[in-house]
C-alpha cells in the first residue's frame, strides 16, 4: 500500500520504513498516556455514579492492558 503512494513521489519504501521505526518510540508514550488517561477518567466518573461497578471496570481495564 505504501509503495503505491511513494512510487509516484520518487521515494524509496525502505527510507519511509526506517523513519516510521525511528519515530514510533517517540509517539508511543503519548499514545499510551492518552489511552490510560482516558480509561482512568472514565472509570472515575462511573465509580462516582455507581460505586458497585468500579471493581468490575478496574479489572476489565487492567485485563485489557495486560492483554496488549
Is the per-residue pLDDT at 59 higher than 70?
Answer: no
Is the per-residue pLDDT at 68 higher than 70?
Answer: no
In angstroms, the CA 1 to CA 21 distance is: 17
Q: What is the pLDDT of residues 11-47, one digit of tens each?
A: 788 888 888 888 888 998 999 889 988 888 887 777 6
**Cα angle: 45, vertex 52, 50; to 5 degrees:** 35
Is the per-residue pLDDT at 50 higher than 80?
Answer: no
Q: Where are the domains of the chain?
A: 2-67
37 close to 43: Cβ distance less than 8 angstroms: no
Amino acid at each position: 500500500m505504501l509503495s503505491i503512494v511513494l512510487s509516484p513521489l520518487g521515494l524509496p519504501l525502505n527510507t519511509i520504513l526506517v523513519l516510521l521505526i525511528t519515530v514510533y518510540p517517540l509517539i508511543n508514550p503519548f499514545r499510551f498516556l492518552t489511552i490510560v488517561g482516558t480509561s482512568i477518567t472514565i472509570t472515575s466518573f462511573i465509580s462516582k455514579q455507581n460505586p458497585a461497578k468500579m471493581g468490575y471496570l478496574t479489572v476489565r481495564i487492567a485485563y485489557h492492558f495486560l492483554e496488549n
